[in-house]
């Protein structure tokens, strides 16, 4: 019984590791700069609660993540985006 359980777990892990590869959506669109007034685009990089999604999860490259971060911070300052939501 114990051995069976183990093999099942291994299979599950393998499936998880074979998940689709991430890519930078902004590189695909060849985005050169991100406007802080472009709230629709910025909201796709922010969680429900207002947190910025990390590149490890969103798949952004370092260059574009930097642009997104700066734009979100500017948008927050002029209250286009929230710092947090309750
Ligand atoms: Zn990119």
Separation of CA 54 and ligand 1 centre (Å): 13
pLDDT at residue 3 in the model? 59
Dihedral, CA atoms, 14, 17, 19, 21, nearest 10 degrees? -140
Separation of CA 47 and ligand 1 centre (Å): 19
Separation of CA 53 and ligand 1 centre (Å): 14
d(CA 64, CA 71): 10
22 three-state secondary structure: coil
The CATH label, of 3.40.50.300, 3.40.50.2000, 3.90.550.10, 4.10.640.10, for the domain at 21-86 is: 4.10.640.10
25-83 tens-digit pLDDT:
999 999 999 999 999 999 999 999 999 999 999 999 999 999 999 999 999 999 999 99
Q: Is the model more confident about 25 or about 16?
A: 25
Reported as a pLDDT band with limits 50, 70 and 90, residue 86 is confident
Domain boundaries along the sequence of the chain: 21-86
pTM for the full predicted model:
0.75
Q: Is the model more confident about 44 or about 5?
A: 44
Separation of CA 2 and ligand 1 centre (Å): 46
């Amino acid at each position: 019984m114990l051995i069976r359980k183990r093999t099942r777990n291994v299979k599950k892990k393998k499936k998880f590791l074979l998940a689709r590869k991430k890519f930078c959506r902004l590189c695909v669109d060849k985005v050169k700069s991100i406007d802080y007034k472009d709230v629709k685009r910025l909201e796709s990089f922010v969680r429900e609660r207002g947190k910025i999604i990390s590149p490890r999860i969103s798949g952004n490259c370092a260059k574009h993540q930097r642009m997104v971060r700066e734009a979100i911070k500017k948008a927050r300052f002029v209250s286009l985006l929230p710092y947090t939501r309750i």
